[in-house]
């Protein structure tokens, strides 16, 4: 990759991450990320009260966090956060009628896609990985030294590392999908809704179809398994989880393929603000 290519990507990145990070449209994304942090902070303060102290174990907190991460972060906050961040990278400029300024510069379209994606990914990872880490550190803090020992001398640090990695991979995978949706579709909310339904019915699909999703690979890396309660448990179809050594590069490869398709689409796209 030449120096000029890197400078062009870096130039787009600098412009886009500031706009994305400081966007007034994105206030709700920060609320999504702050909600579990606030919830675990309230849990910590509540459990410090003498009359409720010792009500449950660190293992209970670990299971509660696993459920919070799988059902709130992966299926909610990160998913919708990526919709808001990445769909607007192209669609927002089309709505504001500013995309043609980029197209008039001597920057290749594929480099524009790369710069925008990296900017969105930086913001998404910074917001949601930080939120996931803070929630994990807070949820068992009421146990005091026992929770510190759980993190530093037990499985806690390893679990935290996996949760942060999964959150980052979720941002990378969903980000590539929704960047493509924002460029290809006039109303990206329609394909986003289809993806949302597909991801959420994933455990009930045949094993082969489960693998045609992002959530399947993310769930395969979960350090703590969350049991599905009845009556839904009888409808779940168990699919063999994949090794992390396959899942991590596999997800990144799929994201790269989607970005390559998005770059090709960008090269062939024409601006029509009147649509």
Q: Which residue has the higher pLDDT, 106 or 253?
A: 253
On whether residue 273 sits in a domain, the answer given is no
Residue 142 DSSP symbol:
G
**Residue 207 CB burial class (10 angstroms; 0-12, 13-18, ≥19):** exposed
Cα 180 to Cα 70: distance, rounded to the nearest angstrom: 25
Tell which wins on pLDDT, 31 or 46. 31
Q: Residues 24-35: pLDDT tens digits? A: 777 899 999 999
What is the phi/psi pair of residue 57, to 5°?
A: -95, 170
Does the residue 237 lie in any domain?
Answer: yes
Residues above pLDDT 70, as percent of the chain: 89
pLDDT band of residue 260 (cuts 50, 70, 90) is very high
pLDDT in tens, 176-212: 999 999 888 888 899 999 999 999 888 878 877 888 8
For residue 223, give every residue at least 6 positions away whose Cβ sits within 8 Å of its Cβ, in sequence order, or none: 66, 155, 158, 159, 162, 163
Instruction: Say what the pTM is.
Output: 0.90
Predicted pLDDT at 103: 76
Q: Residue 240 domain-assigned?
A: yes
pLDDT above 70 (res 233):
no
Q: Tell me whether residue 274 is in a domain.
A: no
List the structure tokens of 259: 């970005």
Q: Which pLDDT value is given to residue 164?
A: 96
Predicted local distance difference test score (pLDDT) of residue 14: 86
Number of other CB atoms surrounding residue 51 within 10 Å: 5
Confidence of residue 66 (pLDDT cuts 50, 70, 90): very high
Report yes or no on 13 lying in a domain: yes
User: What is the predicted pLDDT for the residue at 239?
Assistant: 67
Mean pLDDT rounded to a whole number for the chain: 85
With 80 as the cut, is the pLDDT of residue 9 above it? Answer: yes
Domain that holds residue 89: 3-268
At residue 54, does pLDDT exceed 60?
no
Highest mean pLDDT among 2-16, 98-112, 176-190: 176-190
The tokens describing 94, both together, are 């089309």
In a domain, 275, yes or no: no
Domain count, the chain: 1
Give just the sign of the alpha carbon dihedral 22, 26, 28, 32: negative
Evaluate if residue 109 carries a pLDDT over 70: yes
Judge whether 190 lies within some domain: yes
- Region 105-111 average pLDDT: 83
With respect to residue 16, please indicate whether it lies within any of the assigned structural domains: yes
Higher pLDDT, 185 or 133: 133
CA pair distance 171, 82, nearest whole angstrom: 7
């Amino acid at each position: 990759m030449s120096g000029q290519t890197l400078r062009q990507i870096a130039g787009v990145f600098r412009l886009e991450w500031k706009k994305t990070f400081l966007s007034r449209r994105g206030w709700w994304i920060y609320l999504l990320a702050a909600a579990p942090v606030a919830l675990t902070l309230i849990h910590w303060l509540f459990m410090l009260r003498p009359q409720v102290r010792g009500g449950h174990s660190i293992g209970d907190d670990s299971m509660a966090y696993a459920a919070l991460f799988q059902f709130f972060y992966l299926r909610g906050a990160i998913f919708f956060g990526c919709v808001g961040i990445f769909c607007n990278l192209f669609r927002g400029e089309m709505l504001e009628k500013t995309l043609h300024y980029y197209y008039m510069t001597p920057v290749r379209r594929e480099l524009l896609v790369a710069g925008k994606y990296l900017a969105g990914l930086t913001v998404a990872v910074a917001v949601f990985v930080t939120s996931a880490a803070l929630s994990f550190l807070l949820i068992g803090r009421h146990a005091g030294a026992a929770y510190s020992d759980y993190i530093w001398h037990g499985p806690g640090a390893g679990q935290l590392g996996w949760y942060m990695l999964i959150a980052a991979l979720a941002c990378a995978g969903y980000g590539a999908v929704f960047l493509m949706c924002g460029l290809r579709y006039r109303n990206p909310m329609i394909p986003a809704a289809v993806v949302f339904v597909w991801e959420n019915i994933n455990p009930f699909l045949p094993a082969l179809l489960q693998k045609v999703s992002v959530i399947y690979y993310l769930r395969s890396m979960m350090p703590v398994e969350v049991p599905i309660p009845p009556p839904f448990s009888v409808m779940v179809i168990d699919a063999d989880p994949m090794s992390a050594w396959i899942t991590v590069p596999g997800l990144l490869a799929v994201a790269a393929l989607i970005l390559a398709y998005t770059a090709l689409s960008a090269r062939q796209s024409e601006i029509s603000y009147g649509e």
